[in-house]
Amino acid sequence: MKSPPPAGYTTVAPWIVTPDTEQLLDFVATVFDGVELGRVRLEDGSIGHAEIRVGDTVLLAFDQRPNWPAMPALLRVFVADADATIERAASAGARVVTASATQAFGQRGGRVRDAFGNIWWISAVVEEVAPEVGMRRLAEPRYAEAMRIAQETLDRELSGNSGSAVSRPVTG
């Protein structure tokens, strides 16, 4: 028997663990118009559980314990205006990893890295594109270049290797 998620929640819910959940909640509220649903403070002053709604998704978060390793997340967020949201993220202290570009599948966006190392792929749908059309578009130079840049900038960010080279998409 399948148990559905509670009302207002999705089947899969992302958890974000940071050394300062309060600052993370402020970032998400400022950049993505997140609405905080609640937080649970522990006796030591840390946050043991917090929830913030972004669109139709509830992000769950809590403070990292001192002996835990860093656990940055990679999250995609759909917004109305990717360029404006990336600017807001940069103003709120994030660093742009991948400049905004329009991709073959009709989405425009880029990536930012917040103060905790989480990478946010910020996207807006600018055109409805069928999957098979998007795949054909990858053969077009502008879309192939946008894909290459997206892959290389993420690889550089995660590997620390400035000489990143990635494979091109196979389109046929």
CB 148 within 8 A of CB 166: yes
Distance, in Å, from the CA atom of 51 to the CA atom of 44, rounded to the nearest integer, reads 19
User: What mean pLDDT value characterizes the chain?
Assistant: 93
Taking residues 62-73, report their average pLDDT.
94
The identity of residue 133, as a single letter, is: V
User: Is residue 164 very low, low, confident or very high in pLDDT (cuts 50, 70, 90)?
Assistant: low
The CA distances from residue 159 to 15, 128, 155, 156, in Å, are 23, 33, 6, 5
Question: What CATH architecture applies to the domain 1-66?
Answer: 2-Layer Sandwich (3.30)
Pick the closest to residue 39 from 18, 55, 70 (CA basis). 18
Burial class, 135, CB count within 10 angstroms (exposed 0-12 / middle 13-18 / buried 19+): middle
The CA distances from residue 70 to 16, 25, 27, 66, 98, in Å, are 10, 18, 18, 10, 22
Supply the DSSP string of 100-134, one letter for each residue.
EEE-TTSEEEEEEE-TTS-EEEEEEE-S---HHHH
pLDDT, position 1: 54
* 1-66 and 72-172 have identical folds: yes
| Comparison of pLDDT for 86 and 9, the residue scoring more | 86
- What are the pLDDT digits (tens) for 72-89? 999 999 999 999 999 999
Topology (CATH) of 72-172: 3.30.720
Domains of the chain by residue range:
1-66, 72-172
pLDDT, position 172: 58
User: Is residue 3 very low, low, confident or very high in pLDDT (cuts 50, 70, 90)?
Assistant: confident
| Comparison of pLDDT for 34 and 5, the residue scoring more | 34
Pick the closest to residue 100 from 116, 84, 113, 76 (CA basis). 84
